[in-house]
A and B are shown apart, each in its own frame.
Chain A
Amino acid sequence: MQDPIVIERLVKDYNGFRAVDSLDLKVSRNTFIGFLGPNGAGKTTTIKVLTNLLKATSGQAILNGVDVVKDPKEALSCVGAVVETPEFYPYLNPRETLEYLGSLRGMTREVIGSRGDELLETVKLSEVAEKRIGEFSKGMKQRLAIAQALLHEPSIIILDEPTSGLDPRGMVEVREILKDLKDQDYTIFMSSHLLNEVQEICDYVALIDKGRMLAHGSVEELTQMTKTKRIQVRSLDPLDGRMVETIGRVNGVSKVMRPNETLTVVEFTGDDQDQVALLEEIQGMGVRVASFKEEGLALEALYMNLIKDSR
């Protein structure tokens, strides 16, 4: 069976500037892939080509076996998308908006009604279903954007930085919705520059910079590509300079940072045995350890290394 999303040698030029440079990527069915890269890496440009907002200079962007450039109507027939934070027609309310977009996708009024109510409930907009969208906050618009993308239960969902610009509560709400989607039969392509968000939600990651693919694979595969991890040690007793020096001599420790007297962050490249030895060394100095945990930043280390190399 063909992969639902296939990007082949995709190129997009803007007035002499190459925003996407021979990008290749295949996304398997039921994958939640995070499309990572710094600002200006070409993430949004790629997504805009996939959603027919931009025309590719060359190459192919194939959705469910159909090239978006050649037949956007067919290619997008089973795709739901949230690109940037879209604006809605202010003269319509959420229910009317879903009716409008659902009817354009060929859904019957009855199905739009039942599915629309269900989605408005999911994105917590039921109470304002009859209220004109012109007065909505950005977070409400983003949740409605997600609802419209899911309305026809598409096989592919494309999301461009879905939590961008939201307040912390809005980010949490949107992430909860995304986590729920992960358990369902969707292939999800989400761009983000938030590493923790990608690591928390996605199964697979594609890293790009300057329009080029740097690395892609499962989150585990990519995190294993870098041996560096961070270990955060929170203690009840303050660590003095001698103790920090001792920790620095433990096998595998490359750097010790002390944000404050009771919090120590260790950059660590050792294996599990070395990690045990590190904990024993700290406790052996009489320090009462309240917590000793790996920070989920292996992906960040890889990301920073790859970005640095590509510059």
Chain B
Amino acid sequence: MECTIRTRPPSDVNQMYLIGKYELLKHLRSRRLLGILIIEVIIFLLIMVIPPLAGRDYASDPAEFAGTFYAWTYVLVIIGATFFAGDALVSEFQNRTGYLIFPNPIKRSTLFLGKYVATNLIMLLVLVIFYGLVSIAALAITGSVSGLTATSLGLAILFSLSASAIGYLISSIMKGGTGALVLTFFLFFLILPILDGVFTVSRVKPDFSLTFVAGAIQYVMQSPYPSDFFQEIPIGGGQVMEIGIYYPDVAIAAGVMVAYMVVGVILAMWFFNRREMAA
């Protein structure tokens, strides 16, 4: 039997576009976007203001100049993944908006992908603004923009895709939005960095860690690219402990980020598809 108004649900791709469009609208109207943009501007201004106040000159090399800023890209991506991915799925269940959207003729996977794309578009916007500000400053102060900026931005985008995938995975299994936000934030800011530290002390290069490989976003601005080395640290009694100072290989970093993204998206989608609107 047909509806009185002759309609056919659009294709999955078209529905994904529609979901993405309205998710983008949600982000654009949210205080979270405003918040992360304010954080971004504060980071930019602090790095611009502190050297002159400390009586130091800016780096004259455009890559070195920009590298100082890009050390903070990690922070921006993690905040973005927390804000825009952490509760993206769980909120449909917790806030009961699922009762509105799920009974529509749309597959959960389409809904998931539309949201995921929108999350990453908004994070791309945040990154482009940050890299744009830094590039303008580099042009004004050093007279040019380093070609390595594109590589750093590319890695930042990959990191954004992978971190948000992990955020979505957390969101797909957590019961509460606040818990999902907190876990996403602390996973990237505390838990994984601690694990990276443990591996470093154990002289194991943590190439499998997303937070470790994210360092490439900053290191790629250094010429030559830094190499791994071992450092001896005195621990008393004339004894020393040797720890590894590791730098992620750029290609491996990109591969690991892609792997996290793919696995994160597949698992999150699987959990989201199976999750029931029981309560």
Contact = CB atoms under 8 A, between A and B. Distances in A.
The yes or no verdict on A and B being binding partners is yes
Nearest to A75: B105
Given A106-B7, A152-B3, A153-B4, A87 B103 contact: no
Nearest to B277: A53
A89 B95 CA distance: 9
B26 interface: yes
Given A78-B3, A89-B26, A153-B5, A104 B18 contact: yes
Most buried by B among A53, A104, A148: A104
A76 B17 CA distance: 20
A73 B95 contact: no
Nearest to B12: A73
B137 to A, nearest CB: 33
B104 A107 contact: no
A79 interface: yes
Given A83-B99, A87-B97, A91-B29, A107 B5 contact: yes
Interface string A46-71: 00100111110000000011000000
Interface residues of B, number: 33
Contact of A53 (B4, B102, B106, B107): B102
A78 B1 contact: yes
A72 B96 contact: no
B98 interface: yes
A115 B6 CA distance: 13
A115 B5 contact: yes
Interface in B98-145: 98-100, 102-107
Contact of B30 (A75, A91, A104, A115): A91
A136 interface: no
Given A87-B99, A91-B29, A48 B3 contact: no
A48 B102 CA distance: 10
B103 A52 contact: yes
Interface string A12-31: 00100000000000000100
Contacts of B276: 48, 53-55
A220 interface: no
B272 to A, nearest CB: 13
Given A29-B1, A91-B26, A145 B100 contact: yes
Contact of A74 (B1, B97, B104, B105): B105
Most buried by A among B25, B98, B104: B104
Q: Is the interface of A mostly helix, strand, loop or mixed?
A: loop
A169 to B, nearest CB: 23
Size class of A's contact patch? 35 or more
Contacts of A89: 22, 26, 97, 100
A78 B2 contact: yes
B15 interface: yes
B9 interface: yes
Interface string A83-104: 1111111011000000011011
Contacts of B278: 14, 48, 54
B10 interface: yes
Contact of B106 (A14, A73, A86, A107): A73
A277 interface: no
Contacts of A84: 96, 99
Contacts of B15: 104
Contacts of B105: 72-77, 79, 104-105
A106 B95 CA distance: 26
A81 B7 CA distance: 16
A153 to B, nearest CB: 4
B115 to A, nearest CB: 12
B103 A152 contact: no
Given A53-B276, A107-B7, 12 more contacts: A14-B278, A54-B277, A72-B107, A77-B3, A77-B9, A87-B95, A87-B97, A88-B97, A103-B10, A104-B19, A104-B104, A107-B5
5 contacts: A48-B276, A53-B103, A87-B96, A87-B100, A105-B105
Interface of A: 4, 14, 29, 48, 51-55, 64-65, 72-79, 81, 83-89, 91-92, 100-101, 103-107, 111, 115, 145, 148, 152-156, 158, 185
Question: Nearest 8 A-B pairs (CB), nearest first?
Answer: A153-B4, A86-B99, A53-B277, A51-B103, A86-B100, A81-B103, A87-B96, A106-B7
